[in-house]
Amino acid sequence: MARPPLKPKVLISSSQKALRVPRKKLTELAAFVARAEGRSLAQIDLAVVADKKIAALNRSYLGHAGSTDVLSFDLSDSRTPGICGQLIVCGDLAVREARRRRCSPQRELMLYVVHGLLHLMGYDDTSIRAAAKMHARQDELLRQFLARPRRKAGKRPRAPR
C-alpha cells in the first residue's frame, strides 16, 4: 500500500524589504506542487533575500556574477522520506520582473518558488529543450494553483451526500 504524501514543513524567512511575503500562500503552493508532481516534501527552507545577498550566494555556490531569481539546494538524505531542500529567492528581482511582466510581485515570487521546487524534483533547465519543458510546467502549475477554488477560513468542504 502506498504511503500518503507527507504534509511538508515549510520554513519561510525574509531579510528583504522589496515586497510582502505571502507566507501562507507559499506554504500552500509548495504542497500543491508536490501533490501535482506526485512527490513528497519533508521540509523546505525558503529564504527571500535582496539582490546583494543572492548575488553573493550565486557567486559563492555557482561561480556566476550578479543576481538571480532562485537558488535551489537539495538537502535530502536516505534517512528522511521526502525531499528536503533550501530555496533562496530574490525579492528585489521579483519586483523588477513583475513590473516588466505586468503582474504582481507576489505572483512573480511564487513563480520563482515553483521553479526552485521543480529543480529539487529533478527538472533541469541547462538545455533549450529542457528549459522549455520546465518553464511550461512551472507556468502550468502556477496557473492551476492560482485558479483553484479557495476555502474560507474555518470552513470545511461539505461531504457529498
The CATH number assigned to the domain holding 64 equals: 3.40.390.30
Question: Does the reported pTM lie above 0.85?
Answer: yes
Q: Output the CA–CA distances (angstroms, integers) from residue 122 to 34, 57, 72, 118, in the order listed.
A: 12, 21, 11, 6
**Does residue 118 sit within a domain?**
yes
The more confidently predicted of residues 155 and 80 is 80
pLDDT digits (tens, 9 = 90+) for 45-66: 999 999 999 999 999 999 999 9
With respect to residue 70, please indicate whether it lies within any of the assigned structural domains.
Answer: yes
Total domains in the fold of the chain: 1
**Is 4 within a domain?**
no
Q: Is 3 contained in some domain?
A: no
Would residue 36 count as lying in a domain?
yes
Measured CA angle at 144 (ends 100, 108), to 5 deg? 25
Is there a domain that residue 76 lies in? Answer: yes
For 11-50, the pLDDT digits (tens) are 999 999 999 999 999 999 999 999 999 999 999 999 999 9
The span from the CA of 69 to the CA of 94, in Å, is 7
Q: The domain containing residue 83 runs over which residues?
A: 9-147
Q: Is residue 64 part of a domain?
A: yes
Establish if 121 belongs to a structural domain: yes
> What does the block give as the cell for 117?
521546487
Task: Give the span between the Cα atoms of 107 and 118, in whole angstroms.
Answer: 17
